[in-house]
């Protein structure tokens, strides 16, 4: 029904392509998403759609609040505007209704939940982006252009490679943004990690959500 309303509101005739486009965005939730790559995929299947139409549709799905998107963090406004966006869904249930459940859904759903809380409680002067260099950090939270906190989200860190990746990513982002207010949000772990002279607060999601309500 939502996709049909979208197509009718913006006078889009090819609802089957719109449906596939939304599924591709949904499948790549929480990851940098290339509209150009989706365009090539659609064309390879013999479906007819213009690349400019897909960029318009990407705007439409955000205009109707089906998705919210964030840019890659950069001190350059031009680089930020030209970056790949990460998309987040306004409701985890909507994602489950559109896609067949996958084994990695827990982590995506948790990250989506954290983002929606950040987005819901932020002020008009606040900005949310993601950091990507050699490593990655899920959220860079800025207020009046000052980076206030960095947040990683992962379901758990039992796997040592996962643990080191999350720590390395947030430390790299900390060095780049000069922010030392560091958090890793997980399903249920609570601890403090000290690395390279910096303190990383690991919080269970329920506690982080209460603190940021």
d(CA 127, CA 108): 21
Cα separation values, 176 from 131, 147, 155, 179, 180, Å? 9, 11, 25, 8, 11
**Do residue 87 and residue 149 come from a single domain?**
no
Residue 18: give its domain's CATH number: 1.10.10
**Do residue 60 and residue 132 come from a single domain?**
no
* High-pLDDT (> 90) share of the chain, %: 77
List, as one string, the DSSP characters of 121-140.
H--TTEEEEEEESSSEEEEE
Question: Looking at the predicted structure, is the pLDDT value of residue 134 above 90?
Answer: yes
Question: Looking at the predicted structure, is the pLDDT value of residue 102 above 70?
Answer: no
Helix (H), strand (E) at residue 142: strand 136-143
**Do residue 186 and residue 167 come from a single domain?**
yes
Find all residues with CB under 8 Å of 22, minimum gap 6, and list them.
Answer: 3, 61, 66, 98
Q: Per residue in 162-207, pLDDT tens?
A: 999 999 999 999 999 999 999 999 999 999 999 999 999 999 999 9
**Do residue 97 and residue 110 come from a single domain?**
no
* Domain span at 154: 105-213
**Do residue 110 and residue 29 come from a single domain?**
no
**Do residue 9 and residue 91 come from a single domain?**
yes
- Residue with the two structure tokens 């303190």: 199
Domain boundary among 101, 121, 138: 101
Q: Per residue in 9-50, pLDDT tens?
A: 788 888 889 989 999 999 999 999 999 999 999 999 888 899
Residue 153: give its domain's CATH number: 3.40.1350
**Do residue 113 and residue 209 come from a single domain?**
yes
Provide the angle, in degrees to the nearest 10, between the axes of the packed helices 2-9 and 15-27.
120
**Do residue 87 and residue 189 come from a single domain?**
no
- In this prediction, residues 67-92 reach a mean pLDDT of 94
Confidence of residue 53 (pLDDT cuts 50, 70, 90): very high
**Do residue 110 and residue 47 come from a single domain?**
no
Q: Per residue in 104-113, pLDDT tens?
A: 689 999 999 9
Find all residues with CB under 8 Å of 115, minimum gap 6, and list them.
Answer: 30, 68, 70, 88, 128, 139
CB-CB neighbours of 73 under 10 Å: 24
How many domains does one find in the chain?
A: 2
- 94-103 burial, b at 16+ Cβ within 10 Å, e below that, comes to ebeebeeeee
Query: What was the pLDDT predicted at 103?
Result: 53
**Do residue 68 and residue 49 come from a single domain?**
yes
Confidence of residue 101 (pLDDT cuts 50, 70, 90): low
Radius of gyration of the chain from its Cα atoms, rounded to whole angstroms: 18
Strand order in the sheet with 32-33: 32-33, 85-89, 67-70
């Amino acid at each position: 029904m939502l996709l049909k309303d979208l197509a009718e509101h913006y006078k889009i005739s090819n609802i089957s392509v719109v449906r596939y486009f939304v599924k591709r965005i949904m499948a790549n939730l929480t990851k940098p998403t290339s509209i150009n790559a989706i365009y090539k995929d659609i064309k390879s299947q013999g479906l007819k759609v213009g690349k400019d139409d897909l960029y318009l549709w990407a705007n439409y799905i955000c205009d109707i609040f089906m998705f919210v998107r964030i840019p890659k963090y950069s001190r350059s406004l031009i680089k930020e505007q030209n970056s790949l966006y990460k998309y987040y869904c306004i409701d985890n249930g909507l994602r489950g209704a559109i896609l067949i459940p996958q084994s990695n859904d827990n982590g995506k759903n948790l990250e989506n939940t954290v983002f929606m809380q950040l987005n819901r409680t932020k002020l008009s002067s606040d900005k949310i982006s993601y950091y990507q260099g050699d490593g990655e950090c899920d959220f860079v939270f800025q207020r009046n252009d000052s980076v206030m906190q960095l947040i990683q989200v992962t379901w758990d860190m039992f796997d040592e490679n996962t643990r080191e990746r999350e720590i390395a990513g947030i430390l790299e982002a900390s060095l780049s943004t000069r922010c030392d207010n560091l958090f890793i949000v997980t399903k249920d772990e609570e601890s403090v990690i000290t690395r390279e002279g910096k303190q990383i607060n690991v919080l269970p999601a329920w506690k982080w959500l209460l603190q940021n309500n």
